[in-house]
């Protein structure tokens, strides 16, 4: 088996396109396809479902992905350890995390500092995405962990045996407004202009719950953010376009500075770390233990 085959496979997992991966790997598409097929023949298993576009991994492909990642990492780590390099100069073990956009800006950096303080130096690969794509990334097997908000009113479509979780923090969904514009709207009476997440989005579901709580002001929708980024709504609020339900940690500095003000009772949320129990490298287990999660055997 050639190391290039593993690198080709991992690149294809990321791009989901033979033509794109062939360009990335600087070979013709036919040569790239032959190398992927050579890997499958060597393993005695089909790694890819070629009947779909973009391509998808088979069950064997998902199972092999972590092994391929670990083999490539260990080979490069071993090479880096040769030639008299000190331990501090060698590549650290790595974990892959997919997380909601706002959590990558607020909670994740601070949490990783605490984790590194407990388990030592680790490298990280982070995919910021919306809730649905975070779930997909975790289930497809390319990521060790998923970081997300949780509220009991929104069910999580994950098998708890295969994807256990640990609650590692908390936040609150908070309705905020630019205080200058809020005063103008209140003088005029009527409903407050509402900036809304896209239909069906995770924070959109929580915002609807929060808006129906006692004490929430009457509103009318004036803007829908189709990509469901809380950060984009935050800047719309700062410019005075309306009110929005945002994670408290995302607007803490603006609230403290008086640039934003709270206009309704808050909705508490957990911050949860989900893991793929099928990915059980030593570094993953150390991080899981540091997060307070229980150790699960590989479901295979």
102-127, pLDDT tens digit by residue?
999 999 999 999 999 999 989 898 99
**What local confidence, expressed as pLDDT, does residue 300 receive?**
35
pLDDT tens-digit profile of 260-278?
999 999 999 999 999 999 8
Share of residues in the chain with pLDDT > 70 (%): 92
Using pLDDT thresholds of 50, 70 and 90, give the confidence band for residue 62.
confident
Mean of the pLDDT values across residues 41-70? Answer: 85
Domain finish residue from 59, 89, 119: 89
Asked if residue 130 is part of any domain, the answer here is no
98 strand-pairing partners:
127, 146
Establish if 296 belongs to a structural domain: no
Q: Which domain holds residue 35?
A: 1-89
Residues 218, 193: Cα–Cα separation, whole Å: 9
The CATH number given to whatever domain includes residue 202 is 3.40.190.10
Query: 276, 299 in Cβ contact below 8 A?
Result: no
Look up the pTM and report it.
0.74
Residue 296 CA to residue 268 CA, distance in Å, equals: 29
**Ramachandran class of 234: left when φ > 0, alpha when ψ lies in -120 to 50, beta otherwise:** alpha
Task: Determine the Cα–Cα distance for residues 196 and 208; give it in Å rounded to an integer.
Answer: 9
Distance separating alpha carbons of residues 183 and 62, to the nearest angstrom: 55
Which of 172, 108, 163 minimizes the C-alpha distance to 296?
A: 163
Between CA 236 and CA 234 the distance in angstroms is 5
For residue 46, the SS3 value is coil
| Rg, C-alpha atoms of the chain | 23
Q: Give the CATH number, domain containing residue 33.
A: 1.10.10.10
Q: What is the pLDDT of residues 184-222, one digit of tens each?
A: 999 988 899 999 998 888 999 999 999 999 999 999 999
Paired residues of 270 in beta bridges: 150, 170
Domain-embedded: residue 281: no
Q: Tell me what pLDDT residue 82 has.
A: 56
- Angle of helix 3-15 relative to helix 29-43, nearest 10 degrees, comes to 110
The percentage of residues in the chain with a pLDDT greater than 90, rounded to a whole number, is 54
Per the domain annotation, does 229 fall within a domain? yes
Q: Is residue 131 part of a domain?
A: no
**Residue 298 pLDDT more than 50?**
no
153 lies in a domain?
no
135 with 166: CB under 8 angstroms? no
Q: Tell me, what's the pLDDT at 192?
A: 95
Over the range 131-150, which residues count as b (16 or more CB within 10 Å of their CB) and which as e?
beebbebbbebbbbbbbbbb
Q: How many domains does the chain have?
A: 2
The predicted structure's pLDDT at residue 92: 66
Alpha helix (H) residue ranges in 25-150: 29-43, 59-81, 101-105, 108-119, 131-139
pLDDT at 197: 93
Residue 135: inside a domain: no
Per the CB < 8 A criterion, the answer to whether 125 and 91 are in contact is: no
d(CA 173, CA 269): 7
- The residue among 45, 63, 89 that closes a domain is 89
8 Å CB contact between 38 and 5 = yes
Quickly count: other Cβ atoms within 10 Å of residue 80's Cβ. Answer: 12
Q: pLDDT value at position 297?
A: 42
The residue among 45, 66, 89 that closes a domain is: 89
Whether 114 is in a domain gets the answer no
What would the 3-class secondary structure string for 188-227 be? Answer: HCCCEEEEEECCCCHHHHHHHHHHCCCCCCCEEEEEEECC
């Amino acid at each position: 088996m050639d190391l290039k085959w593993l690198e080709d496979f991992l690149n294809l997992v990321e791009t989901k396109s033979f033509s794109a991966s062939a360009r990335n790997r600087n070979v013709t598409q036919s040569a790239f396809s032959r190398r992927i097929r050579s890997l499958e023949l060597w393993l005695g298993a089909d790694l890819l479902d070629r009947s779909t576009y973009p391509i998808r991994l088979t069950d064997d492909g998902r199972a092999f992905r972590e092994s391929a990642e670990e083999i490539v990492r260990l080979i490069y780590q071993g090479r880096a350890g040769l030639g008299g390099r000190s331990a501090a100069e060698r590549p650290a073990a790595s974990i892959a995390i997919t997380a909601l956009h706002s959590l990558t800006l607020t909670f994740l950096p601070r949490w990783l500092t605490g984790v590194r303080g407990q388990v030592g130096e680790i490298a990280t690969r982070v995919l910021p995405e919306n809730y649905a794509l975070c779930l997909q990334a975790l289930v497809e097997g390319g990521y060790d962990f998923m970081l997300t908000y949780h509220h009991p009113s929104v069910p999580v479509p994950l098998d708890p045996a295969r994807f256990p979780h640990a609650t590692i923090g908390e936040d609150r969904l908070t309705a905020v407004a630019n205080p200058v514009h809020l005063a103008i709207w209140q003088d005029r009476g009527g409903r407050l202009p509402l900036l809304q997440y896209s239909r069906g989005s995770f924070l959109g579901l929580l915002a609807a719950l929060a808006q129906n709580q006692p004490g929430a002001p009457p509103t009318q929708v004036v803007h829908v953010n189709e990509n469901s980024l809380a950060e984009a709504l935050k800047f719309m609020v700062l410019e005075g376009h309306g009110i929005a339900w945002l994670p408290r940690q995302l607007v803490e500095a603006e609230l403290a500075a008086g640039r934003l003000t709270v206009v309704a009772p808050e909705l508490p949320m957990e911050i949860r770390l989900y893991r793929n129990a099928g990915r059980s490298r030593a570094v993953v287990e150390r991080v899981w233990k540091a997060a307070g999660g229980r150790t699960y055997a590989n479901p295979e």
